[in-house]
C-alpha cells in the first residue's frame, strides 16, 4: 500500500505532506501529495560513532 511512497517521497524534496484518507486504505485510491515548490533540500549530517576506550575486565 505505502511501499511505493516509501521510496518516492525521500527523493522528492518538494513533497511537504502526504495525506492518507480512508479511501486510500479501503479502495486503493492514490494518496494526496502536498507540494511546496519553494522548499529547499536539507543536507543531513551523520556523525560517526565515537570510539570508546577498551576497559580491562576480569573475565
Domain spans of the chain? Answer: 3-35
User: What is the predicted pLDDT for the residue at 59?
Assistant: 59
CA separation for the pair 42, 57 (Å, rounded): 44
pLDDT of 1 > 70? The answer is no
**pLDDT digits over 26-56, tens only?**
998 999 999 999 988 878 788 877 776 666 6
Pairing assessment for the beta strands 32-35 and 15-19 based on DSSP bridges: antiparallel
Predicted local distance difference test score (pLDDT) of residue 2: 80
pTM of the model: 0.59
Q: How confident is the model at residue 5 (pLDDT cuts 50, 70, 90)?
A: confident
Amino acid at each position: 500500500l505505502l511501499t511505493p511512497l516509501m521510496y518516492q517521497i525521500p527523493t522528492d524534496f518538494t513533497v511537504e505532506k502526504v495525506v492518507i484518507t480512508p479511501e486510500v486504505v479501503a479502495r486503493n485510491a492514490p494518496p494526496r501529495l502536498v507540494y511546496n515548490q519553494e522548499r529547499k533540500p536539507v543536507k543531513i549530517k551523520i556523525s560517526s560513532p565515537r570510539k570508546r576506550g577498551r576497559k580491562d575486565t576480569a573475565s
